[in-house]
Amino acid sequence: MVLRSFARCASTVAKKTLSRGSGRYEITSQRLCDDILNRLRTSLPAPNTCDIIDINPGRGLWSKSLHHVLQPRRHVLVESDLERYTEYLQPLLKSHGSAYRHATILEDVFDPGKQLLNQYDVEKAGSVGKVPEYNRSLLMTVNLSGGKISIGGYMGSLSRKFFDELYLSLLSNPRSGFFRYGLIRVLAWIPDHEKDSYIPRTVHARHKQTVMLEATTDITEVAGASAEAKSTRYRKWPDLELEELAAIDAKTKGASGYKIPKSRLDTPPPRELLSIEPTPRNLRKADFTSDAEWVPRLLELDSHIKQKYPHWYRRYASGQSIRKLGLKTPPQKEWGELLRRANTTHKTHMKAVEVVNQERQLISEWKSAIFNAKNSPLDPDTERSFQNRAEAIKENLKALNRTNRIFAEKAIDDCRAWDMSPPILAWNRREAHPLIVHDTEFDASYRQMALLDVVPRADLLSKVDTYDKMVCFRYIVATLSLYFSKSVAEALRGLVHEGLNDFVKTIPGIHDPTKGGWYDLTTLRVRVLPMDMFVEIGLAYEKWPFRTSTEAILMATADPMAGYSGQEDDMK
């Protein structure tokens, strides 16, 4: 059973030794709790109207802060090792008229016989022909930090196990999992370095679990560490990041009510080094970050030459070419070689940027033409013109060197995701910037956490409304996730093997740019498909007469009632 497996999982983690390396992370800043709750205040239930399920409360600072704001009817602390945290939690449980209750496992909280909750809204659960309703009278908060766990064939992080069980509760059996009393909101604390698995900022970090969460929840990063030190693997092209930041700022500018404290604002990303014309003057003045060794060496040589050969340097600064000036000394020759290489790299990178902008402009014009056609087919000449431009861009992309081609493909895909309506990634749909947490606000500087606000949705169940459809949908997500960096054509061929062209014809919108499709599936990568397109492919596969049978799918994959049991890192 979905819920019971997580309860065992939580118990296993709680019994581990609380070392700084693998134990549960703890929030130590009251200011952080206050700032977060001020941010969430307007969306939280009114005081005295809800019960709180609080999993792994630990020292309880966040628990007490949330309790103070909501004044819940009941606040159940699900802590399997109460003895370890007794000095923090027993005063809460033993205070006069306390609304706090204690449970060792999560299953006890949902058992009406235990009477731990004030109210058990069975009527809000889903049933045959009825999707579950949202239950505002129940709120869950959970701390998912700690070492890796091993349970039921799964080995990995507690957060990944929890989120798998969360969406499986909705898809497999809403009447016996997390949502047996309706859909409940979850405020989940996770180690900050894990958040890109659930709310990635680039399609490059999207994977199977991301798509499943996109299909079943609205997920928002409320607070987290600065992106300043984040690897470029998990970040977008800086130009696009700045565009997104400006759009969010414009959305919140002038809005009345809550304002983010300045200490909680992240710094905008610096310019990309390769986008700066690499003259010594620009490199000294421009705001950028880089670990490229040639930059400090070039500036060092430039200062030396400027001081030792001032007349020669003034001629260079006035615009004379380096070749005509002549490079006589070893420092001058090294300086000139570094400048030459930097200029070549800059120019080839800017060609890749030009390809990205051309593709983005083409997609925008193509989508506008489709919208203006008002459900009528595009004029054949217009469509042919768009396709010819796309083919030319494809050839320009092929002509780039490997480094610039990888950059351009990633930037094109992130632009596609951002420009869709609504944007594909949950991160792109945020209404405001997350609050920045600081390393002094946790029990160790390297144990920062992020807070995710997760609100389940049941709209998928109205489309995927039979067992066969559900099995096929999950199967195609699992199968296509093996091809995230590959083309849609290659992924679909791996799904159906034969009859690819006939199968593609059964997928609505697969060639429509307004729905995330494209005329040439060999150039459209799986990682940029909208969640709705995964659903359409799943529904088409369920009807495909030559598909793998439902029984064979179940035999070849993990138990559909079990949590995720694949590789810990399945990103492609």
Structure tokens at 474: 């999950």
Q: How far is it between the farthest Cα atoms of the chain?
A: 91
Q: What is the pTM of this model?
A: 0.89
405 within a domain of the structure (yes/no): no
Does 38 share its domain with 176?
A: yes
411 within a domain of the structure (yes/no): no
172 within a domain of the structure (yes/no): yes
Does 373 share its domain with 445?
A: no
What local confidence, expressed as pLDDT, does residue 291 receive? 66
Write the CB contacts of 502 (distance below 8 Å, at least 6 apart in sequence). Answer: none
**Token match 């307007």: residue?**
42
What is the spatial distance between Cα 544 and Cα 546, in angstroms, rounded to a whole number?
A: 6
357 within a domain of the structure (yes/no): yes
SS3 180: strand
Range of the domain at 210: 2-267+424-456
81 within a domain of the structure (yes/no): yes
408 within a domain of the structure (yes/no): no
Q: Are residues 396 and 355 in contact, defined by beta-carbon separation less than 8 angstroms?
A: yes
Does 363 share its domain with 346?
A: yes
Q: Are residues 524 and 518 in contact, defined by beta-carbon separation less than 8 angstroms?
A: yes
134 within a domain of the structure (yes/no): yes
Does 237 share its domain with 384?
A: no
Q: Could you write out the DSSP letters of every residue in 427-474?
A: GGG-SSPPEEP-GGGBSSTT--EEEEEEEE--THHHHS-SHHHHHHHH
Does 113 share its domain with 251?
A: yes
Does 127 share its domain with 180?
A: yes
Does 437 share its domain with 364?
A: no
Q: Write the CATH number for 78.
A: 3.40.50.150
Does 158 share its domain with 82?
A: yes
Does 117 share its domain with 245?
A: yes
What local confidence, expressed as pLDDT, does residue 230 receive? 73
Does 378 share its domain with 506?
A: no
77 within a domain of the structure (yes/no): yes
Does 143 share its domain with 283?
A: no
Number of structural domains the chain divides into? 3
Domain end, chosen from 432, 456, 480, is at: 456
Structure tokens at 217: 């929840």
**Parallel, antiparallel or unpaired: strands 134-143 and 51-55:** parallel
What is the spatial distance between Cα 485 and Cα 489, in angstroms, rounded to a whole number?
A: 12
Residues of the chain with pLDDT under 50: 1-20, 559-572
**E strands in 331-488:** 435-436, 449-456
End-to-end CA distance of the chain: 30
Does 308 share its domain with 209?
A: no
What local confidence, expressed as pLDDT, does residue 320 receive? 67
